[in-house]
């Protein structure tokens, strides 16, 4: 453990007898006392209770990397603030926690240190759990789970078998990165500049059999249902819609005959109206026609092989130089019968559409560039409002919709009419029809890795792929293997893979692939609500708690994790395990926590990263430069990026907690930025939050020392007391709105800080003054309880309450305290601020106008000119237009 208590001065007694809080703010003592109190009372153990409104508050569970990072602190503090706030609203709150415990880092650690992934993972979990507990999150730990526990992943396997039965899970080949030296499949992350990260060997693409989940069967539903998620951020819904990517277009066939074989090259297009402008077709390197041409021509073979060595990532495909080679084959245009050459293009995706595209250089930018490069014909066939077309250079409007020209029978038709006519003619010839195509692809879940959930299949020489019978579940992952980086350890472990066929009893081989870890995280929120059930995946407790009322997690999960969870929930629904369509009612996507990146890149060897804390940085004109503290030599600045282990730019939250306490760490995290913003980390500023805590503590302490205070006698308050009380209740209303509706925790905290500044200035030791102060401090502590629960716990008792603040209700603002007789109107002349005038609240326009024009500052600018117009926004402003 790296938990080292930081230097902290010891408290000095004596404490007077009638005081219940110490004179000095000591977070370590306050926090452990509060945590002990919650633990003893079982405060956060959630029980199903039909009589109360339930509130399931869930944060994305962490990968147990070993240490909490700032993103976790941000995520779980947001969740805890909402959970505690909803509890104060009277809700029955469930806030569980678990571990997304399978994955690649455990194997990497094993390769580096020789420790078994199971051991490494469980040690990390133990450490991170202590860290979470020290932050005082109100978590129901009785429901804790780890996805590497057999009683969890058993149900992955069980539902996978149900999916096989229903045809949702199926087997087909998929493309992977293959390291020829280590004889192993690599993750995209392990491929650097086309080479294996450990071996440096050139990576090949390889096709292997894998299991897929038919998420595309739910495309339409997953897309349509986005409209019924009003409490999801607009941007997440937009990203998912684009990911699912519904396009309506035309599927058409180019017939061909070569060397005695007849066939049809299938192509999908959303621009069938440009079909008369086709001058070539391009196929993916993995397309059968490319393979056919390669078998006949060495240069095509070489090009196809080169493409196959390239990256499998879409981002790389989209940005690489567009290259191609003529196959020497040709196909016939489906409408004109003209001969069209077939090319292989490195930019054509095998996984989208048909793995082939029709080339219309006249109206597609990529095709245009390709035609220019390889001297292919460019044929304009769309007229965009008579604009002059030149093949010399691409213009953006070339891709716009217009009317067909040079298109024979289709001339003069617009996009819709041309598409209809062309689709009809193609259909008459049996060479095409309208079709909807989705960008979404089926979800490949096979991973050739050890530290994951085994896929419950047995391969029998006679019976083929046989599902493991339910009663043999779980297929347990042996926990004592240590991967060495070459191949999958399961495939080298006969005790695991040697087995009998469940159907015929013959010797058979167990599947050694494991599941994508996204499977684990696609339904864990159900399991929290059915914790410990050994007989069923979910039970009636899930029906009580689900859906998750508030889900909170990083924006980086906006697509994959959330989409897979929505899909998995629907599969569970179709299997009768839930009645829900959607698992997450409301979603908050927190921004990422970023930090500076500093590195050195030696002429040879691997790039070395340094933590910003080890760097002294300065601005050198436009450039930012820095030196490493330990050797004084320069380091390069790599900009701002997510905190990551590989870039060594993480900040350890434990140091903050040790130095300032959990409350300060939580408070600062929530104050630094609104939750959805990305946050550039800075150590400075934490001091401000700590100062606030000390100030608050001091004011509470000073007030308590004056002895018990009564309740304010409202009609007897003087104007100063009345004004303070108004601010208190204004703040209360704002803070409730900021937390409950707007989720802008930073402004809620700022409002309380402003109030505290007012309380510090308020020195009134009269009975009424002290009564107003008591009410104010009570409310301040209640308002802050979700943010700084430990200090609030202590101060609440210090203020003379016998209850625990965690069990208190959120107070309602006193409307009568908010009433004001006179308000200040802002006066503008031609939109520029020229004065402020007091008017009675509710003044009509005539009164406001008279008051505004009478103001000397305003009169100076009006200067006798006629008022052309006067805008009056009641209660706010007057704009005099002259």
In the complex, least distance from residue 442 CB atom to RNA, rounded to whole angstroms: 8
| CA atoms in the 13 A half-sphere facing the CB of 381 | 26
Closer residue to RNA in complex, CB, 439/801: 439
Q: What does the angle CA 564 – CA 565 – CA 569 come to, to the nearest 5 degrees?
A: 115
Closer residue to RNA in complex, CB, 44/352: 352
Cα–Cα distance measured from residue 803 to residue 348, given in angstroms and rounded to the nearest whole number: 67
Alpha-carbon radius of gyration of the chain: 34
Burial 836-848 (b: 16+ CB within 10 A, else e): ebebeeebeeeeb
What is the DSSP code (8-state) at residue 478? P
In the complex, least distance from residue 246 CB atom to RNA, rounded to whole angstroms: 12
Contact between 342 and 329 (Cβ < 8 Å): yes
In the complex, least distance from residue 337 CB atom to RNA, rounded to whole angstroms: 33
In the complex, least distance from residue 184 CB atom to RNA, rounded to whole angstroms: 10
Query: Roughly what angle, to the nearest 10 degrees, separates helices 662-672 and 27-41?
Result: 100
| CA atoms in the 13 A half-sphere facing the CB of 122 | 8
In the complex, least distance from residue 249 CB atom to RNA, rounded to whole angstroms: 16
Give the number of residues written for the chain. Answer: 882
Closer residue to RNA in complex, CB, 297/737: 737
Closer residue to RNA in complex, CB, 606/741: 741
Contact between 159 and 572 (Cβ < 8 Å): yes
What is the DSSP code (8-state) at residue 738? I
Closest CA to 155 of 547, 528, 503: 528
Q: Which residues pair with 584 in a beta bridge?
A: 548
Closer residue to RNA in complex, CB, 475/592: 592
In the complex, least distance from residue 419 CB atom to RNA, rounded to whole angstroms: 21
In the complex, least distance from residue 689 CB atom to RNA, rounded to whole angstroms: 7
Closer residue to RNA in complex, CB, 19/238: 238
Four-CA torsion 156, 161, 165, 171, nearest 10 degrees: 90
Cα–Cα distance measured from residue 383 to residue 367, given in angstroms and rounded to the nearest whole number: 18
Taken in order 66, 71, 75, 77, the sign of the CA dihedral is: positive
Closer residue to RNA in complex, CB, 105/502: 105
Cα–Cα distance measured from residue 82 to residue 62, given in angstroms and rounded to the nearest whole number: 19
| CA atoms in the 13 A half-sphere facing the CB of 882 | 16
In the complex, least distance from residue 227 CB atom to RNA, rounded to whole angstroms: 16
Q: Which residues pair with 36 in a beta bridge?
A: none
Cα–Cα distance measured from residue 271 to residue 280, given in angstroms and rounded to the nearest whole number: 15
Longest dimension (CA), the chain: 106
In the complex, least distance from residue 62 CB atom to RNA, rounded to whole angstroms: 7
In the complex, least distance from residue 174 CB atom to RNA, rounded to whole angstroms: 6
Burial 90-104 (b: 16+ CB within 10 A, else e): ebbbbbbbbbbbbbb
In the complex, least distance from residue 602 CB atom to RNA, rounded to whole angstroms: 22
Closer residue to RNA in complex, CB, 295/678: 678
Four-CA torsion 676, 677, 683, 686, nearest 10 degrees: -50
In the complex, least distance from residue 196 CB atom to RNA, rounded to whole angstroms: 12
Q: What does the angle CA 352 – CA 357 – CA 362 come to, to the nearest 5 degrees?
A: 135
Closer residue to RNA in complex, CB, 578/664: 664
Residue 833's H or E segment, with its range, is strand 832-840
Closer residue to RNA in complex, CB, 595/797: 595
Closer residue to RNA in complex, CB, 541/729: 729
Give the start-end residues of each E strand in 180-224: 184-186, 191-192, 195-196, 204-213
Closer residue to RNA in complex, CB, 103/650: 103
In the complex, least distance from residue 541 CB atom to RNA, rounded to whole angstroms: 26
Cα–Cα distance measured from residue 343 to residue 348, given in angstroms and rounded to the nearest whole number: 10
Contact between 519 and 453 (Cβ < 8 Å): yes
Closer residue to RNA in complex, CB, 210/587: 210
Contact between 637 and 626 (Cβ < 8 Å): yes
In the complex, least distance from residue 370 CB atom to RNA, rounded to whole angstroms: 13
Closer residue to RNA in complex, CB, 720/757: 757
In the complex, least distance from residue 39 CB atom to RNA, rounded to whole angstroms: 29
Closer residue to RNA in complex, CB, 142/830: 830
Residues 6+ apart with CB under 8 A from 810: 85, 88, 89, 736, 782
Peptide bond before 474: cis, by omega within 30 degrees of 0? yes
Closer residue to RNA in complex, CB, 104/575: 104
In the complex, least distance from residue 340 CB atom to RNA, rounded to whole angstroms: 25
Pairing of strands 822-829, 877-881: parallel
**Measured in whole angstroms, how far is the alpha carbon of residue 732 from the centre of its chain?**
31
């Amino acid at each position: 453990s790296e938990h080292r208590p930081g230097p902290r001065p010891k408290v000095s007694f004596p404490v007077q007898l009638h005081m219940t809080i110490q004179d000095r703010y000591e977070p370590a003592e306050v926090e452990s006392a509060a945590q002990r109190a919650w633990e003893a009372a079982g405060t956060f153990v959630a029980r199903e209770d039909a009589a109360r409104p339930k509130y399931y508050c869930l944060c994305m569970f962490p990968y147990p990397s070993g240490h909490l990072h700032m993103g976790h602190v941000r995520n779980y503090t947001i969740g805890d603030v909402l959970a505690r706030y909803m509890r104060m609203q009277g809700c029955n709150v469930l806030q569980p926690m678990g571990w997304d415990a399978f994955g690649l880092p455990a194997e990497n650690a094993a390769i580096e240190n020789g420790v078994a992934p199971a051991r490494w993972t469980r040690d990390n979990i133990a450490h991170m759990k202590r860290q979470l507990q020290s932050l005082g999150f109100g978590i129901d730990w009785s429901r804790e789970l780890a996805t590497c526990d057999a009683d969890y992943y058993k149900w992955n396997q069980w539902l996978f078998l149900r999916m096989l039965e229903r045809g949702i899970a199926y087997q087909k080949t998929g493309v992977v990165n293959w390291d020829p030296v280590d004889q192993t499949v690599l993750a995209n992350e392990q491929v650097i500049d086309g080479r294996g990260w450990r071996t440096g060997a050139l990576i090949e693409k390889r096709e292997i059999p894998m299991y897929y989940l038919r998420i595309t069967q739910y495309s339409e539903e997953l897309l349509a249902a986005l409209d019924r998620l009003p409490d999801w951020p607009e941007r997440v819904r937009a990203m998912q819609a684009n990911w699912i990517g519904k396009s309506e277009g035309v599927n058409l066939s180019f017939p061909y005959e070569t060397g005695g074989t007849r066939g049809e090259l299938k192509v999908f297009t959303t621009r069938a109206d440009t079909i008369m402008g086709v001058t070539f077709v391009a196929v993916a390197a993995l397309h059968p026609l490319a393979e056919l041409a390669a078998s006949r021509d060495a240069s095509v073979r070489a090009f196809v092989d080169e493409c196959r060595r390239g990256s499998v990532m879409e981002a790389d495909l989209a940005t690489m130089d567009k290259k191609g080679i003529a196959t020497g084959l040709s196909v016939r245009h489906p409408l004109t019968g003209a001969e069209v050459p077939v090319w292989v293009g490195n930019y054509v995706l095998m996984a989208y559409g048909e793995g082939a595209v029709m080339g219309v250089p006249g109206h597609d930018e990529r095709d245009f560039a390709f035609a220019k490069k390889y001297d292919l014909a460019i044929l304009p066939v769309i007229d965009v409002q008579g604009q002059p077309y030149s093949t010399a250079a691409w213009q953006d409007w070339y891709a716009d919709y217009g009317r067909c020209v040079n298109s024979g029978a289709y001339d003069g038709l617009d996009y819709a009419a041309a598409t209809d006519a062309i689709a009809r003619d193609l259909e008459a010839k049996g060479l095409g029809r309208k079709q909807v195509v989705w960008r979404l692809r089926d979800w490949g879940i096979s991973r050739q890795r050890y530290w994951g959930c085994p896929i419950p299949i047995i391969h029998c020489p006679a019976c083929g792929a046989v599902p493991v019978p339910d009663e043999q579940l779980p297929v347990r992952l042996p926990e004592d293997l240590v991967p060495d980086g070459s191949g999958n350890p399961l495939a080298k472990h006969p005790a695991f893979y040697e087995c009998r066929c469940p159907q015929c009893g013959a010797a058979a081989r167990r599947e050694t692939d494991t599941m994508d870890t996204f499977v684990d995280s696609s339904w864990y929120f159900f399991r929290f609500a059915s914790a410990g059930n050994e007989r069923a995946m979910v039970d009636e407790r899930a029906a009580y708690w689900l859906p998750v009322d508030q889900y909170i997690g990083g924006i980086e999960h906006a697509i994959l994790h959330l989409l897979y969870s929505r899909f998995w929930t629907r599969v569970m629904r179709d299997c009768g395990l839930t009645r829900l369509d959607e698992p997450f009612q409301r979603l908050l996507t927190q921004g990422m926590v970023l930090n500076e990146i500093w590195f050195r890149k030696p002429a040879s060897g691997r790039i070395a990263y340094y933590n910003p804390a080890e760097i002294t940085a300065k601005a050198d004109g436009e450039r930012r430069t820095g030196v490493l503290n330990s050797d004084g030599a320069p380091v390069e600045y790599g900009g701002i990026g997510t905190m990551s282990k590989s870039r060594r730019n993480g900040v350890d939250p434990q140091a903050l907690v040790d130095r300032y306490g959990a409350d300060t760490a939580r408070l600062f995290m929530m104050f630094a930025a609104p939750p959805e913003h990305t946050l550039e980390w800075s150590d400075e500023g934490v001091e401000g939050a700590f100062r606030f805590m000390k100030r608050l503590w001091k004011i509470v302490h000073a007030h308590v020392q004056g002895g018990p205070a009564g309740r304010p006698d409202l009609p007897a308050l003087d104007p100063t007391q009345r004004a303070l009380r108004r601010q208190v209740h204004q703040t209360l209303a704002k803070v409730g709105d900021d937390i409950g509706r707007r989720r802008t925790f930073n402004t809620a905290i700022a409002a309380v800080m402003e109030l505290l500044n007012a309380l510090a200035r308020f020195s009134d030791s009269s009975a009424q003054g002290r009564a107003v102060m008591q009410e104010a401090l009570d409310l301040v502590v209640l308002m802050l309880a979700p943010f700084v629960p430990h200090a609030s716990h202590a101060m609440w008792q210090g203020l003379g309450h016998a209850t625990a603040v965690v069990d208190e209700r959120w107070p309602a603002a006193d409307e009568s305290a908010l009433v004001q007789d006179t308000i200040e109107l802002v006066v503008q002349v031609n939109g520029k601020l020229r004065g402020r005038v007091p008017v009675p609240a509710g003044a009509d326009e005539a009164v406001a106008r008279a008051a505004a024009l009478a103001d000397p500052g305003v009169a100076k600018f009006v200067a006798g000119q006629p008022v052309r117009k006067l805008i009056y926004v009641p209660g706010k402003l007057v704009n005099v237009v002259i």
